[in-house]
Structure 1
Amino acid sequence: MALTRLDRDRYVLGDASAHVGFLNCERISERSHIHDWTVEPHYHEGLAQLFVFDTGTVDGLIDTKRQRLTCPVLVWLPALCTHAFNYPKDMQGWVLTVPTSDIARLAERAAWMAPWIEVPQILQGEPHRVVLSEALDLAKSIEREHEKHDEIRNSVLEALFLLLLGNLHRGLIQQSGNREPVGDRQTALVRQLQTCLDRHMPETRSVADYAKMLSVTPTHLSRVAKAVTGKTVAEIIQDRVLLEAKRKLAFTDLPVSEIAYTLSFSSPSYFTRFFAGRMAETPKAFRQRSRKASV
């Protein structure tokens, strides 16, 4: 297999800042023209994924362990987890992609996730037949809801996804010896950084503040982040700010000036320059375009 690479555009639709809604739902077959049913080793920064495989047998690589997955299967992959798949042609299945900021928010009110949410998980086999059957039904419901564009879409998607995680959790309770090895120290540090960002954005955007929270120097934190994600801590923070800005513009009627101050910008004009520099359009133009796209 090829060397592991950080992926932002081949197997997902952009990085975390590109995911404006709660989640993105795709059938495996939808992007088969890109990967020809073979997904090379890669990982994502700022995005977690839940794979729901319905039919066939999938050969996979998860972290450093080769897996033979006999469907139906649930596969949970936290951010920064290396993975690769060889799919049988025309297999049925879905991949659900969710920003880690939303996963952290869900985990705050669902403490039962804590033991496994940061570690890759696989659920398969006859003992989990009922749980997996329910998971397939939920995946189909998520796919149908994902195609809608009304005001309750995100709320319904979040509720369905939480039910799906609940199914996975119940299966994992029944399953013994399912813990995968935790990644190396660099990966663990970046995961801790992401958790801090989820908890403290937008109250602080200071690299030094986050380094202090993690008991490391800003230089060390940025060096590790760059090695793991290809981005500096400052760039990761900017991505998170951009994601929040896009969501507020797309899904609220807050004035641009109020969004600017909510995100701790010193002035609306500074916010507009930041947004336009990253998106090649003003916040107002983005809001108008996103509203037209949902009609």
Structure 2
Amino acid sequence: MTTIQTYNLFGEVGDLPDVVHCETIEARSRLHDWEFAPHRHARLHQVLLLQCGSGRMTMDGEPLDLGENSVVNVPMGCVHGFNFTPGTTGHVVTLPVEILDVVLHPAEGLRQVLARPAVVSARPNVVNTIEQISINFARRDFARAQVLRSLTGLLLGQIARDLAGDQSPAEQGQDLLARFQSLLEKHYRDHWTVADYAKALAKTPTHLSRLTRTATGQPATALIEERLIREARRNLVYTNLPVSTIAYELGFKDPAYFSRVFTRATGMPPSAFRSKSARP
């Protein structure tokens, strides 16, 4: 094979026509002699539940054995292939990326966790959720789409929780710090407090500050102020904007208060900092 095939469902190139797709492992495996060559899905995320039987798979070139009661998380774009023992049973849940956009809250960090290809043990709650998705997928009742969306959000949360449990404390801390830094870039002009960032990250302010102090040597409050001051420095050095305009653009309602904050952080008022920076 000279190129990696890209499919929606294996062997198909048309768009996924439903909110979610769910089928048994054997339904498609029988059509392909229980073997699927390495391929990827451009806009789909898959969760595979192997309940009985066994198999082998590759994910991004890594060979993995699959045993009973295994859950496989296959993120969008991951190159994967399967070779199942004939008679293997289970389910494959296929999710369009648009559903992930609907059910995953960006600030909670589930996308980053779910982007990791992995095989984990199938917990009873995950098995139950997938079975409920299978049952409701086959029905045509009122509110079917809403029920499937809700079950999909539950499944992704359960899978993300299991994957996060496999991470070391250091890895979890790095993920949380990256999410905090991403939020800081978006909201430093809004003057969010530590409590605001902690709420968006589903953590306590104490936990967030402990994390930033461990990682950077500074509490979260210092990092928040430092980001504002760094932007103020840039504006003072590289623009001719009046100090008052810079203050307003950075979310300060009172330019005098901005000057006091800047002076406390740098040891000199904004006008003096600009004059010093302009000297040859």
Q: Check whether TM > 0.5.
A: yes
Q: Is contact 1:4-1:42 (8 Å) kept?
A: no
Q: Is 2:165 the counterpart of 1:174?
A: yes
Q: Is contact 1:26-1:94 (8 Å) kept?
A: yes
Deviation of 1:72 after TM superposition, in Å, equals: 0.9
Q: What is the match of residue 88 of structure 1? A: 85
Q: Of the two structures, which has the highest relative contact order with CA contacts closer than 8 Å and spacing of 6 or more?
A: 1
Distance of 1:89 and 1:149 partners within structure 2: 31
1:172–1:39 Cα change, 3 Å: same
The amino acid across from 1:5 in the alignment is I
Q: Is contact 1:58-1:88 (8 Å) kept?
A: yes
Deviation of 1:110 after TM superposition, in Å, equals: 7.1
Q: What is the match of residue 30 of structure 2? A: 33
The amino acid across from 1:43 in the alignment is R
Deviation of 1:121 after TM superposition, in Å, equals: 2.5
Q: What is the match of residue 157 of structure 1? A: 148
Q: Is 2:66 the counterpart of 1:75?
A: no
Q: What is the match of residue 56 of structure 1? A: 53
1:174–1:9 Cα change, 3 Å: closer
Distance of 1:8 and 1:72 partners within structure 2: 26
Query: Which structure 2 residues correspond to residues 1-295 of structure 1 after superposition, within 5 A?
Result: 2=1, 5-8=4-7, 11=10, 13-15=12-14, 18-108=15-105, 111-124=108-121, 132-176=123-167
Distance of 2:2 and 2:92 partners within structure 1: 22
Deviation of 1:12 after TM superposition, in Å, equals: 5.7
The amino acid across from 1:135 in the alignment is V
| Uncovered stretches (5+) of structure 1, i.e. residues with no partner | 125-130, 180-295
Q: Is contact 1:146-1:157 (8 Å) kept?
A: yes
Distance of 2:166 and 2:113 partners within structure 1: 12
Q: Is contact 2:113-2:164 (8 Å) kept?
A: no
Deviation of 1:150 after TM superposition, in Å, equals: 2.7
Distance of 2:167 and 2:159 partners within structure 1: 14
Deviation of 1:22 after TM superposition, in Å, equals: 1.1
Deviation of 1:132 after TM superposition, in Å, equals: 1.7
Residues 189-220 of structure 1: per-residue CA shift (max 9 Å, x gap): xxxxxxxxxxxxxxxxxxxxxxxxxxxxxxxx
Distance of 1:31 and 1:110 partners within structure 2: 36
Distance of 1:52 and 1:110 partners within structure 2: 28
Q: Which has the higher Rg, Structure 1 or Structure 2?
A: 2
Structure 1 SS opposite 2:52: coil
Deviation of 1:6 after TM superposition, in Å, equals: 2.1
Q: Is contact 1:57-1:88 (8 Å) kept?
A: yes
Q: Is contact 2:53-2:88 (8 Å) kept?
A: yes
| Uncovered stretches (5+) of structure 2, i.e. residues with no partner | 172-280
Structure 2 SS opposite 1:67: strand
1:110–1:89 Cα change, 3 Å: farther
Residues 116-161 of structure 1: per-residue CA shift (max 9 Å, x gap): 122212212xxxxxx6222112111111100111331111111112
Q: What is the match of residue 226 of structure 2? A: none
Q: Is contact 1:41-1:83 (8 Å) kept?
A: yes
Residues 19-38 of structure 1: per-residue CA shift (max 9 Å, x gap): 23210101011112321111
Q: What is the match of residue 215 of structure 2? A: none
Distance of 1:139 and 1:169 partners within structure 2: 15
Distance of 1:143 and 1:42 partners within structure 2: 24
* Identity rate, percent: 24
Which ranges of 4 or more aligned residues in structure 1 deviate by more than 6 Å? Answer: none
* TM-score (norm. length: structure 2): 0.55
How many residues are aligned here?
170
Q: Is contact 1:4-1:43 (8 Å) kept?
A: no
Residues 1-60 of structure 1: per-residue CA shift (max 9 Å, x gap): x55522336616544xx2232101010111123211111111111111111111222211
Q: Is contact 2:55-2:82 (8 Å) kept?
A: yes
